[in-house]
Amino acid sequence: MQKEDLAPHVKEISQVLNGSIDDDQITKELKTFLEVYRVSLETAKRSIIRKYGGNPALLSGGQRKRIGELTGNEQRVDLLVKVISVNKKEIEIDGTYKPILYGIFADESGTASFTAWDADRFDFNKGDALLVRNAYTKEWNGQLQINLGNKAIVERQDADSINFSEIELPKFTETKQVKIAELQEGMNNVTVTGRILSVEKRIVETSDGSKTVYSGVIADATGKTQFSAWHNFELKQNDVITVKGAYVRGWRGIPQLNFGERAEVSKFSGTFPSLIDLSQSVLRTIVDLEKIGGGIDVRVKGVVVDVRDGSGLIFRCPTCKRVIQRNLCRIHGTVEPLPDLRIKAVVDDGESVLTAIMNRKITESLLGMTLDEAMKKAKEMMTPDVVKEEIENKLIAQPIEISGNVTKDEYGLMMVVGSARIALPDIKTEATTLLSELEGFS
């Protein structure tokens, strides 16, 4: 590296050391580090500063950015921010407690939450203008997070060094109250009120080792969802709770509520539907389920417009239960086939479609025929296809009401049906109501 190229770095080192060392001396040492020891420029600068008793963190190594420009991958970044909020709390690390600061920083480009991992090193308050050096950023739960680690330095600035109207800032700190039926994969910082229908403690293996999770089902009048609490909030069945700061993850399209120790959980004291009421499945439209990606124990209405192949009398491998053709399982070779009944029905409500998978029990009740009877019929007619035809005759064009868990994949929505019934509404009553509404207009 040429001497001229080194000049700005020499100047920088000199600044950190308050000019106590001669520039020529610094240049010489820097060259030695780079040319003799062949270390990186960054390491060289830090070493020199340390050697003369300076603080290498004061090097403005971080790139100066605005909050709106952050990507979540910055290793060292400098920011000029205003403190919108700051709070202190203790976290547990390997059995010892350590105070940290968390809150919101803002500049004219936006806001982001921050965490300062050693509360004792920092001293700033709400409303302060700060120059934050050497912060790093991460994305956590889909949100950008500014981290102040052991290299971070905070310099207080004149309050008027940042000029922007606080009114324009998004109300970042406010969490959004949502109904359970509105939960969608990827949502963050939501507030949900619901009754715990069930809860159990489980140990799960994660990339950070095994963790205890309290999971179960929570419900409000709009629906149910599975939840996972990553902290012991002492949740009990039948509790009605409000969770602030929860986030939503998807499992095969089904949105699930998650909350960790950062969430606030409180008992809800107002009136709320009872455990028994909430245990019923809630009627939803297929369009609605498509939008949110699925749901547990939901009920839909529609008309059967098709019965897919693979419905009717089928044969399974007795060992692995796979559907087999000609007594041949692709894993277990020639086997004694196990007969079964199944329906894969396309249920259409005029606005959207889902595939409903019905097991033997439900198939038998809709078909009005037991498995043995279906076998007998297939033998008589010399083909199992006759059972599928029978299903089509019984179901095509029939209005049906089904409930179960709905998942979503590249083929669309699929419900594993828990219960099904042919359901005609009271046509005369509905027609009369509709007519009086319409004639009211004219």
Partner 1 sequence: MISREVAWRAFAAEYNASTLEVKGEGERAPSYVITPLGAMINRLFVVGVLTDIENTGTEEEPFWKARITDPTGTFFISAGQYQPEAAIALARIRPPEFIAVVGKSRTYSPEEGTLYVSIRPEKVTVVDEKIRDYWILETCKSTLKRISAAEEARQMESPSVESLMKLGFSRVLSEGVVRSVAHYQTVDFEKYRAVVIDALKYLLPEYQTEIPEIPVESPEEIDEEENIDNEEKVLAIIDRLDKKGKGAPWDEIVEEAKKEGIEKNELEEITNSLLDKGLIYEPILGKMKRI
Q: How far apart are the first and last CA of the chain?
A: 88
- 97: contact with partner 1 by CB under 8 A: no
- If the CB atoms of residues 2 and 429 are measured against partner 1, the closer one turns out to be 429
- 283: contact with partner 1 by CB under 8 A: no
Instruction: Give the tokens for residue 368.
Output: 């009005």
Considering CB under 8 A, how many residues would be counted as binding partner 1? 32
- 424: contact with partner 1 by CB under 8 A: yes
Rg (CA), the chain: 32
- 427: contact with partner 1 by CB under 8 A: yes
- 438: contact with partner 1 by CB under 8 A: yes
- If the CB atoms of residues 128 and 392 are measured against partner 1, the closer one turns out to be 392
- 173: contact with partner 1 by CB under 8 A: no
- If the CB atoms of residues 184 and 266 are measured against partner 1, the closer one turns out to be 184
Cβ 422 to partner 1, closest distance in Å? 10
Are 302 and 399 contacting, i.e. CB atoms less than 8 angstroms apart? yes
Instruction: Give the tokens for residue 270.
Output: 């107002």
Cβ 403 to partner 1, closest distance in Å? 20
- Cα-Cα-Cα-Cα torsion 25, 30, 33, 36, nearest 10 degrees, comes to -80
Cβ 357 to partner 1, closest distance in Å? 15
Half-sphere exposure of 290 (CA within 13 A, CB side): 14
Cβ 42 to partner 1, closest distance in Å? 48
- If the CB atoms of residues 244 and 299 are measured against partner 1, the closer one turns out to be 299
> In angstroms, how far is CA 226 from the centroid of its own chain?
12
Binding residue (CB under 8 A) for partner 1 from 184, 412, 416, 421: 412
Site string for partner 1, 345-384 (x = CB under 8 A): -x-x-xxxx-------------------------------
Residue 259 φ/ψ, nearest 5 degrees: -150, 140
Which DSSP letter does residue 428 get?
H
Q: Which of 426, 406, 434 is nearest to 418 (CA)?
A: 406
Helix axes 23-31, 3-16, angle to 10 degrees: 120
Dihedral angle sign, alpha carbons of residues 287, 288, 289, 290: positive
Cβ 278 to partner 1, closest distance in Å? 25
Are 361 and 382 contacting, i.e. CB atoms less than 8 angstroms apart? no
Q: Which of 190, 275, 272, 196 is nearest to 234 (CA)?
A: 196
Residues 139-168 that bind partner 1 (CB under 8 A): none
- The CA-based angle 60-65-69, given to 5 degrees, is 155
Binding residue (CB under 8 A) for partner 1 from 305, 357, 371, 375: 305
- 440: contact with partner 1 by CB under 8 A: no
Cβ 355 to partner 1, closest distance in Å? 8
45-53, 203-211, 334-342, 394-402 -> range binding partner 1 (CB under 8 A):
394-402
Are 89 and 99 contacting, i.e. CB atoms less than 8 angstroms apart? yes
- If the CB atoms of residues 58 and 396 are measured against partner 1, the closer one turns out to be 396
- If the CB atoms of residues 160 and 439 are measured against partner 1, the closer one turns out to be 439
150-158, 221-229, 358-366, 428-436 -> range binding partner 1 (CB under 8 A):
428-436
Are 189 and 247 contacting, i.e. CB atoms less than 8 angstroms apart? yes
Cβ 435 to partner 1, closest distance in Å? 4
Residues 319-348 that bind partner 1 (CB under 8 A): 346, 348
In whole angstroms, give the CA distance from residue 302 to residue 402: 9
What SS3 class is residue 407?
Answer: strand
- If the CB atoms of residues 152 and 289 are measured against partner 1, the closer one turns out to be 289
Q: Which residues bind partner 1 (CB under 8 A)?
A: 287, 303, 305-306, 346, 348, 350-353, 392-393, 396-399, 410-412, 424-425, 427-428, 430-432, 434-435, 438-439, 441-442
